[in-house]
Amino acid sequence: MTDPKNPPSANPWWTATPAGQAWQQGLEQMQAFWSASLKPLAPAAGAAAKPAADRRFAAEPWQRDPRFAQLSQGYLQFSTLMRNALQAAPLDARSKRQWDFALRQVLDAMSPANSLATNPEALQAALDSGGASLVEGARLLMADIAKGRVSMSDDQAFEVGENVATSPGSVVFENELMQLVQYAPSTARVHKRPLVIVPPCINKFYILDLQPDNSLVASAVAQGHTVFLVSWRNVDAAQGHLGWDDYVEDGVLQAIAVAREIGGADQVNTLGFCIGGTLLGSALAVAAARGEAPAASVTLLTTMLDFSETGELGLMVDEAMVAKREASIGRGGLMKGRELATVFAALRANDLIWPYVVNGYLKGKAPPAFDLLYWNGDDTNLPGPMYCWYLRNTYLENRLREPGGTVQCGVPVDLSAITAPAFVYASREDHIVPWQTAYAGTQLLGGEVRFVLGASGHIAGVINPPEKKKRNHWVGGLTEDAGAWLDQAESVDGSWWPAWSGWLATHGGAKVAARRTPGNAAYPAIEPAPGRYVKTQAA
């Protein structure tokens, strides 16, 4: 018998589930919104519309015309409806996160800001310019189609070795995989032990030497360290057979050996950034398995050693995806840098894709000259076998954290065998290496570990010279849990660089007179820094 106070139409069958209830609530909110939107609008004279919270719609044209204000607010409300329904769906946590990532890509693409017909700023620009902005936008679009990517910076404004990567130095060693750059001293005396830097191989090294005023390389040199830096080759088909072991043996361990010989030092200090830190940890564990301890200290910047929680990047990796890659490029071939860059950009599409589409193609505004975004667009290829080994043994199976879980360069690897003191840095808003995951690596190393958490993200948190007086960082004694560590950590104003510089100085050894001639008899200078390899563009 039907309840007259609660007719069937008031409670559709699909509201019996949490997802259905979320949809019902969202639809009711949408109905109320559009009903209100259809009423005549008569704002008081001089009254300003409340700006939208989303920065895509914060400009005055979106608020001045009620049609566009309603359009943007309707879009935002629909987006909220879709996300709420997904959160209420009966899915496991990983599936829900995967669908959330996919949904965000769709919703971001659907934004009315991304279409000429529904973007009042672009329409106004077209009117004001007599259509010239549309002509220029079409030209920019065709240029980007030829490049195969969305331009984020004026590519003609920078040249590697001319106005980026300008710290003086020399290439003192090279093989088919890397060049080793030795930087010229800027102090009369230097620490006996050199500093060997291993940057990520999925990007060019010059993020660490972008401009003189924000160069981590120049800062380390100014602190009295003889700095050696690995410049990875932008590989092509001829190097498509190289594997992870080659990067460990002929890359990291070779660089350490050359730096020790040139410096005449018993040990070197080492630094690895991102995947460069993963390679460094692997290399030092291989050395330990061979009964060697070439590093006096280890610095890891935004590095994953434990891949238990890999953020949104990890959501894209499963057995089927890895097996497909192994079948296509696992025995030889290239993982193209352009494909990697597209994946990273998709993690922050509203920062790294759509603003440049809107400003460029819809408004006809060429991107400005920005060194960081120029570097971001300087793609780097990886050998297929190396990339596939990395995917399977880290992101997919998380075997690096297990003692003996991987065999590298012919020996079982155990990160706890690395007994050198370590300085581990993470960025709190890092979307590539979640800081909690970087913190988990502190539990795997066998020596004394100091952990520092910086503000901001993967790049801005790392490249934060103290002279800028920006951001802050947190320090504190280690705990087993990242959350517990943060609860007791102390916030310190400014850059983390001085804390690291002070720590590194204690491991540098005695001060000696700086040698002005790069290399030695066995390893003479080959060419000036930054070298040929970093200048090679991805094909």
Catalytic residues: 274
Radius of gyration of the CA atoms of the chain, in A? 27
Q: Is the peptide bond between 530 and the residue preceding it cis, with omega within 30 degrees of 0?
A: yes
Q: How far, in Å, CA of 49 to CA of 46, rounded? A: 10
Helices (H), 251-399: 254-263, 275-289, 311-315, 319-329, 337-346, 349-352, 354-357, 371-376, 384-390
Per-residue exposure over 240-257, b if at least 16 CB sit within 10 Å of its own CB, e if not? bebbbbbbbbbbbbbbbb
Copy the structure tokens of residue 216. 């981590």
* Stretch (H or E) spanning 486: helix 482-488
User: What residue type is 449 in one-letter code?
Assistant: V
The 3-class SS string of 421-433 reads CEEEEEECCCCCC
- CA within 13 Å, CB half, 149: 23
Q: Count of residues for the chain?
A: 539
Closest CA to 198 of 304, 283, 293, 267: 283
- What H or E segment, with its residue span, contains residue 334? strand 334-335
Q: Which residues are CB-neighbours of 150 under 8 A, at least 6 positions away?
A: 144, 345, 353, 356, 357, 360
**Contact predicate 72/59, CB 8 Å:** no
Rounded (10°) CA dihedral 495, 500, 502, 505: -150
Question: Exposed/middle/buried for 371, CB within 10 Å: 0-12, 13-18, 19+?
Answer: middle
Cα 402 from chain centroid?
25
3-state secondary structure of 173: strand
Per-residue CA distances from 457 to 333, 429, 461, 499 (Å): 32, 5, 5, 19
Residue 73: how many CB atoms within 10 A of its CB? 18
Q: Cα 16–18–24 angle (5° rounding)?
A: 75
